[in-house]
Chain A
Amino acid sequence: MNGSENGLDIIFEEVVKTTNDNRIKLIEDTIKYFNDNSIVVNLDHYELYLILDEAISNAMEHGNKWIVDKHVFLQITRRSDEKVEISVKDEGDGFDPNLVPLNVGENKPMVSRGRGIIIIKKFCEVFWNNMGNEIRLLLSIAG
């Protein structure tokens, strides 16, 4: 499905209920869209799969708390010839993204949360909406 957001092209969107099967489906559908449309980003298949998984898993686990009737909204927007953005939004209460550390921190590898965000940040630029229930991953298109 195509649309427009602030004059920028939404080139793909999908909404799913919160289930583990849909988590995998949403990852695979997004990667299929990239492949079918020859959009090659500066990440290999493993890395792209992983950051999509982390964003969608966070939305389902921490946002929607695995409540089946809550939805996850995924949208891909073409930002320019060089950048593509993947947005993942949930129906949870959000959180304060300023509290997410850049690194785990020495002697704190056993913290209970935040590893998914740390992994995503290692591979791409990350932004959140004010409420903290929508993450935007900005990926560079391979030259």
Chain B
Amino acid sequence: MIADVEFIQDAVKIKINETKIDGQNSIFELLIEKKILTKKIEKIIIDFENVIYINSLGIAEFISLMRYYSEKRPKMKYKFINVDKKISKIFKMIELDNIADIESK
């Protein structure tokens, strides 16, 4: 499984099981399959504990999720946790910290 999905009250926690996220992981498709896009949630927590590498195509997988909600639920909150420091630097480089709370390891 690419990721484990757990619902916690009004939030969903998505723990990524892959070590490399490079646009080939079909994370958005998994979220459709798990029907999280239809749930009434207010916060999405993505756990990057296992992720050691991400490129821009991988980042685009999460951007797809955020773009989906930006119209349907503009007040949705995002939190990225356990982010490797190098990945955190990349996220900040492309200003993802403007839309998600990024918590490094």
On A, residues with C-beta under 8 Å from B are: 20, 46, 49-50, 53-54, 57, 61, 103-110, 112, 115-116, 118-119, 122
Contact = CB atoms under 8 A, between A and B. Distances in A.
A110 B99 contact: yes
Contact of A122 (B23, B93, B98): B93
Given A104-B94, A115-B94, A110 B63 contact: yes
A133 to B, nearest CB: 18
Interface of B: 22-24, 53, 55-57, 59-60, 63, 66-67, 70, 86, 90, 93-96, 98-99
Nearest to B86: A46
B3 to A, nearest CB: 19
Chain B CB within 10 Å, residue with most, of A20, A115, A116 = A115
**What's the dominant secondary structure at chain B's contact region?**
helix
Contacts, number: 54
B57 A61 contact: yes
A20 B93 CA distance: 25
Among all A-B residue pairs, the 9 with the closest Cβ atoms: A116-B56, A115-B56, A104-B95, A109-B95, A53-B55, A115-B94, A109-B98, A104-B94, A46-B86
Given A54-B56, A110-B63, A20 B24 contact: yes
Contact of B90 (A50, A61, A109, A110): A50
Given A57-B56, A109-B96, A119-B93, 20 more contacts: A20-B24, A49-B53, A50-B53, A53-B22, A53-B55, A54-B56, A57-B22, A57-B23, A57-B55, A61-B23, A104-B94, A107-B98, A109-B63, A110-B63, A112-B67, A115-B56, A115-B59, A115-B60, A116-B56, A118-B93
